């Protein structure tokens, strides 16, 4: 796996590798080779795996090209002199060629790249490419980006902000969002002008270092373009997340990838919170509970449409993180925000269902916290929600489970009268909804216990 640092979910893959490494005898003929840049999270995770599984994981640092051997030197120089676009090396001594390359393969890549044909014709151009390679710059690309305007600049900024579009499957999902309100010819124009790679269907700046250079340049020199396109992309991607299924992966991955941009450009509490909430869809903890809360409050104040699912899912997932950290104050605040969100989106069944999940989870927590009065209050709240929305099967399920668990608790508390009352309520619920298999299953569990 080359360029492993580009993997959207490094933590998830790291856990897969752990499963592999726990039972290596089952995979005796299999080896996994990864390439990753030093200095980032990917390299850190690989070093951690090496420490965790000594003898099963080996990290090797790739240094400079080994050009000490004279034979290797001559092979490389012969290769370079044979390249049609490197005529400028014709009268350059071998020692100077070695000095220019400096043991860095990136120099050779820059010299021989198709888009460097003009620059590589003269020695000054080759020297400039050496400097650019070592600084990770593409001056030809910078010049093209500097001259872009209108929809071409907008599209280049969007592609730089959402590098996931370079994957074919992801591009098919994100294409409508990336190209919305732009001239249909903008994508072709960027390819024809060599801003993007002509050889692939998906929009790509080419090599990852070239893409990173494009993003860096636009961030430095076209700040307002980056800001404007990020302000468009974040809510657009958030509105596309409407269910926890495969369709949400591309939108969620792209959205959480914009988190640092939202913070860097101070886009506001709501855009930052939407990116943080996207992280929770992948099991990650948001950077702060306050960020999620402030973003939700902003969405409610501004009456933002179409964001109900991701806001409710983000609040629910963050509530779980707060409970896991025994931060009950934030857990309760997050539940209050779920309530407020449900009031703000009264006709959104998905928001209501997440609220029912939050109420049920907190109800379960109150037993361990020995807060039985609050348990009963939460159960009453679930009852009221179910009465208000009798056709909502998810709400009914959470309410039935609340009855079931409270019934179990009252038995342990030796409150047999309350137990019988709750059992009667479950029976009545089953009679009212004879086709609800979940309610029937709960009753069967009680009768078999």
pLDDT in tens, 28-65: 888 999 998 887 788 899 999 999 999 899 999 887 77
Identify which has the larger pLDDT, 68 or 162. 162
Contact indicator for 276, 292 with CB cutoff of 8 Å: yes
Say what the pLDDT of residue 232 is.
97
How large a percentage of the chain has pLDDT more than 90? 65
Q: Answer yes or no: is pLDDT of 130 > 70.
A: yes
Structure tokens at 325: 């950290």
Residue range 368-382, pLDDT digits in tens: 778 888 999 999 999
pLDDT confidence bin for 71, thresholds 50/70/90: confident
Average pLDDT, the chain: 91
| Distance of alpha carbon 65 from alpha carbon 406, whole angstroms | 68
pLDDT confidence bin for 176, thresholds 50/70/90: very high
Mean per-residue pLDDT for 147-170?
93
Mean per-residue pLDDT for 330-338?
96
Structure tokens at 134: 């070592």
Where are the chain's structural domains? 4-52, 70-135, 141-221, 365-449
Q: Answer yes or no: is pLDDT of 399 > 80.
A: yes
Q: Answer yes or no: is pLDDT of 431 > 70.
A: yes
Say what the pLDDT of residue 259 is.
94
Say what the pLDDT of residue 368 is.
78
Structure tokens at 117: 């044909």
| Distance of alpha carbon 313 from alpha carbon 330, whole angstroms | 16
pLDDT confidence bin for 367, thresholds 50/70/90: confident
Full-model pTM: 0.80
User: Minimum mean pLDDT among 2-16, 94-108, 413-427: which range?
Assistant: 2-16
Say what the pLDDT of residue 8 is.
65
Mean per-residue pLDDT for 339-358?
95
Say what the pLDDT of residue 323 is.
94
Q: For residue 69, which phi and psi values (nearest 5 degrees)?
A: -70, 130
Say what the pLDDT of residue 316 is.
97
Say what the pLDDT of residue 136 is.
82
Other C-beta atoms within 10 Å of 254: how many?
27
């Amino acid at each position: 796996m080359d360029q492993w640092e580009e993997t959207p979910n490094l933590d998830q893959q790291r856990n897969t590798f752990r499963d592999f490494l726990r039972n290596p005898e089952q995979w005796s003929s299999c080896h996994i080779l990864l390439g990753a840049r030093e200095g980032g999270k990917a390299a850190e995770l690989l070093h951690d795996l090496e420490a965790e599984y000594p003898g099963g994981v080996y990290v090797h640092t790739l240094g400079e090209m080994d050009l000490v051997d004279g034979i290797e030197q001559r092979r490389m120089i012969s290769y370079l002199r044979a390249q049609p676009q490197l005529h400028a090396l014709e009268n350059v001594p071998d020692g100077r060629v070695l000095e220019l390359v400096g043991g860095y393969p990136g120099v050779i890549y820059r010299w021989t790249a198709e888009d460097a044909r003009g620059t590589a014709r003269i020695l000054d151009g080759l020297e400039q490419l050496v400097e650019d390679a070592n600084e990770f710059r593409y001056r030809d690309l910078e010049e093209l980006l500097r001259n872009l305007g209108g929809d071409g600049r907008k599209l280049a900024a969007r592609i730089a902000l959402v590098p996931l579009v370079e994957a074919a499957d992801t591009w098919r999902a994100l294409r409508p969002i990336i190209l919305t309100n732009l001239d249909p010819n903008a994508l072709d124009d960027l390819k024809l002008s060599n801003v993007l790679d002509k050889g692939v269907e998906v929009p790509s700046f080419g090599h990852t270092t070239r893409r990173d250079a494009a993003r860096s340049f636009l961030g430095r020199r076209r700040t307002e373009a980056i800001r404007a396109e990020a302000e468009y992309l974040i809510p657009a991607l958030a509105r596309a997340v409407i269910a926890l299924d495969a369709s949400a992966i591309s939108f969620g991955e792209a959205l959480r990838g914009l988190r640092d941009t939202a913070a860097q450009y101070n886009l506001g509490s709501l855009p930052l919170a939407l990116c943080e909430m996207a992280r929770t869809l992948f099991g990650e903890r948001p950077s702060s509970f306050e960020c999620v809360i402030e973003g939700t409050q902003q969405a409610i104040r501004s009456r933002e449409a179409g964001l109900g699912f991701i806001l409710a899912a983000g609040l629910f997932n963050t509530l779980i993180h707060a409970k896991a950290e025994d931060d009950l104050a934030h857990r309760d605040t997050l539940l209050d925000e779920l309530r407020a969100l449900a009031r703000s989106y009264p006709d959104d069944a998905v928001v209501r269902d997440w609220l029912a999940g939050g109420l049920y989870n907190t109800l379960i927590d109150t037993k361990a916290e020995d807060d039985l009065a609050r348990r009963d209050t939460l159960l009453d709240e679930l009852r009221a929600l179910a009465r208000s929305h009798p056709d909502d099967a998810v709400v009914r399920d959470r309410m039935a489970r609340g009855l079931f668990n409270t019934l179990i608790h009252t038995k342990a508390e030796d409150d047999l009268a309350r137990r019988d009352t709750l059992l009667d309520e479950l029976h009545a619920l089953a009679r009212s909804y004879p086709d609800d298999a979940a309610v029937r299953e709960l009753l069967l569990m009680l009768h078999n216990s």
